[in-house]
Copies of this chain bind each other. A is one copy, B any other.
């Protein structure tokens, strides 16, 4: 159960209206790595968790905080829009290039659809969608997803920080940056704890019997491009992070296997399968394909 309190975790009031910035701020509300994403992601991870205790409590505890961040950003955006010129015609003012320029940078749906309100979309107006959410049931994979989400989120907030000089906005961003710092640290710590406790190991999923994978290629860096410097990284030699092998560097991909012959499905699918004479040629080509190198 969720309970709401009519307070905000941190002050969220701008010094002045700025509809162009309101649009930009939508990114961290309703974008791929916005607050809706993490709130929903931690929610689904907690509901799908298979063990009670600290990991699930962590998910519940953070998830509810993130819904509060959604609220702070929505509240901020509505205020940024409150007295901003967002397309209403005001006689001569509208023809002022400065005003026109501002309007060009706003989200027209802020005005037309929401009447100067926040929207569950990103900075280009793409509606938030659940294709952004990750919740696999494997906590090591999912905590890595969470660490990434908090990193991407903090990168975006940091960029937004440089795009305004409104102290009220910067004050909120400063708070969000700190929380992202916490959450990055926390997910990395939690991922490490899973490994230290032996709950999960690398490679993920650690419960899959590693003997069933094709171990010959488990630690080969195979270079499918012509850059030579990839051989210099620690992914090209030395022990692997999973502690189970040694990286090797393969400068030239080994020869592959011939492609299987093209499929010939039922003729009632009306695919192009060729007339007899074509088929004759085709057979030759299949033979070529099969015997090539």
Copies in the complex: 6
How many angstroms from the CA of A234 to the CA of B59 in the assembled complex? Answer: 14
The docked-state distance in angstroms from the alpha carbon of A266 to that of B85 is 9
Which residues of the other chain, B, contact A63 by a CB distance below 8 angstroms? 4, 224-225
Bound state CA distance, A177 and B203, in angstroms? 10
Q: Which residues of B contact A190 (CB under 8 A)?
A: 233-235
* A contact residues, total (Cβ < 8 Å): 208
Chain A, residues 126-147, CB within 8 Å of chain B (1/0): the string is: 1111111111111111001101
Q: Is the CB of A225 within 8 A of B5?
A: yes
Are A253 and B9 in touch, CB under 8 angstroms?
yes
Q: Is the CB of B137 within 8 A of A117?
A: yes
Which residue of A65, A155, A207 has the most chain B CB atoms within 10 A of its CB atom? A155
Query: Which chain B residue shows the least CB distance to A63?
Result: B4
Residue of B nearest to A39 (CB): B2
Inter-subunit contact B68/A156 (CB<8 Å): no
Closest CB in chain B relative to A103 CB, distance in Å: 6
Inter-subunit contact A233/B189 (CB<8 Å): yes
Sample (13) of A-B pairs whose CB atoms are under 8 Å apart = A2-B68, A4-B225, A6-B289, A49-B272, A56-B229, A82-B263, A111-B163, A112-B156, A114-B137, A123-B125, A124-B126, A182-B218, A207-B270
- Which residues of B lie under 8 Å from residue A158 when comparing CB positions? 205, 208, 270
**B115-A269 in contact (CB<8A):** yes
Complex Cα–Cα for A119 and B288 (A): 27
Contact of A89 among B163, B198, B212 (CB under 8 A): B163
- Whether A57 and B161, one on each chain, are in contact in the complex, defined by CB atoms closer than 8 angstroms, is no
Indicate if the CB atoms of A162 and B268 lie closer than 8 Å.
yes
Q: Does A167 interact with chain B (Cβ within 8 Å)? A: no
A196 shortest CB reach to chain B, Å: 8
Which has the most chain B C-beta neighbours within 10 Å: A257, A262, A271? A271
